[in-house]
Amino acid sequence: MPVYNGERFLAEAIDSIRGQTFTDFEFVIVDDGSTDASPAILADYASRDPRIRVLRQANAGIVAALNRGLSDCGAPLVARMDADDISLPPRLERQRAFLEAHPRVAVVGSSYRLMSDAGAAGPTVRQPAATSAITKSLRHGNCLAHPTAMMRRDVIVEIGGYRDFFRHAEDYDLWTRVAERHEIANLPDCLLKYRVHGGQISWAAAEAQVIGTLAVQGFARARREYGSEPAPLPHAPDREFLRRVLNVSTDVDYSITASIANRMDLCRSVGMAEDATLAREAAKAAIASRHGHMTRRTIAGILAWQDLRAALRARKFVTATWAFVCCGLAVLTDLTLMRAAVRRWGRSGA
């Protein structure tokens, strides 16, 4: 479990692992240079539970922390955990039993239940279970939640572990490479509570995460078609790299729109209306000031799309009609985005 300034939810996360029905494990926690109360919390738990081993390093980022933890794990099976989530008691027991019964499977995840920052329960997210379905889904997006994963350490080490080039999508890159050589599965059991809150990396770095995700797909396609990958840049991928090197034709602005919209949907799904409102303001401010490639039309599209979905859920059809008109006007000069929005509306059942 990597930790960086995770004091708010850290005790709950640790307690959920200590309370597992399977008890013969070592709990390796990498403190990635936290400056809050996390080090003190970790020291206290380590003094009370000999299964807990804390590694402290200068802040180097999530990928470095993940690889540090992986290198220091001695067991053949390694389970991932995040410092703001809660593993349900039978998680380790069920995943370990599954991997022992299925030696061809290298990684197994599970379904998970969303929860708010205060712990209020949200809907359960069901992932594709069969290897064939996962392999197909991975071509279009990540279908294995990182904090639900248990994996065979030798397989992950053999393929090179996590890669910093795909930061914010490092788990997706890892699964695509594993799936090319081994089987991956998801248990239908709900084994984790996944916390939704405004401080998550996936919200703060929406554009970087989308570009990283598209880069993962471009690299995977290159491996399938040419048997090798292009040389990565010395820094994180950018739009020019996607276009020129990977020949990615996806509308990046639309993908960012969808990512931010999904984040606000998650907030609403667990009853976090205040966070959803703050997210709207953050979206407008961040996109307008820092995401220079995004236009005012795209900002309007994000917010109008969210208003449309919320109005339909509340059966406020007059409001929904107006929101749909606004959404159309927002993307009037981008028919591709409008068609994608209508398709997404139909698929979501909103």
Q: Are 280 and 306 in contact (CB under 8 A)?
A: yes
Q: What is the structure's pLDDT at 312?
A: 75
In the chain, % helix, strand, coil (3-state, to 5) comes to 50, 15, 35
Q: What is the pLDDT of residue 349?
A: 41
pLDDT value, residue 176: 97
Residue 226 CB partners (closer than 8 Å, separation 6+): none
Q: What is the full per-residue pLDDT of the chain (350 aa) written as tens digits?
A: 999 999 999 999 999 999 999 999 999 999 999 999 999 999 999 999 999 999 999 999 999 999 999 999 999 999 999 999 999 999 999 999 999 999 999 999 999 999 988 888 889 999 999 999 999 999 999 999 999 999 999 999 999 999 999 988 999 999 999 999 999 999 999 999 999 876 665 555 777 888 999 999 999 999 999 999 998 888 889 888 998 899 887 777 767 767 776 777 777 778 776 666 665 665 555 555 444 445 555 555 666 666 677 777 777 888 778 777 766 666 565 544 444 444 444 444 43
User: Model's pTM, two decimal places?
Assistant: 0.82
- How far from chain centre, in Å, is Cα 274? 22
pLDDT confidence of residue 347: 42
pLDDT of residue 49: 97
CB neighbour class for 81 (10 Å; exposed up to 12, middle 13-18, buried from 19):
buried
Neighbouring CB atoms inside 10 A of 259's CB total 18
| Nearest residue to 60 via CA among 33, 38, 95 | 33
The CA-based angle 251-257-263, given to 5 degrees, is: 140
CATH architecture of the region 2-195: Alpha-Beta Complex (3.90)
Residues 6+ apart with CB under 8 A from 79: 25, 91, 92, 95, 149, 150, 151
| Domain range list for the chain | 2-195, 201-348
8 A C-beta contact, residue 54 and residue 43: yes
Which residue is listed with tokens 């401010």? 285
Number of Cβ atoms within 10 Å of the Cβ of 281: 10
Q: Where are the alpha helices (DSSP H) in 205-290?
A: 206-226, 239-244, 252-269, 273-289
Q: Tokens 């068609």 belong to which residue?
A: 339
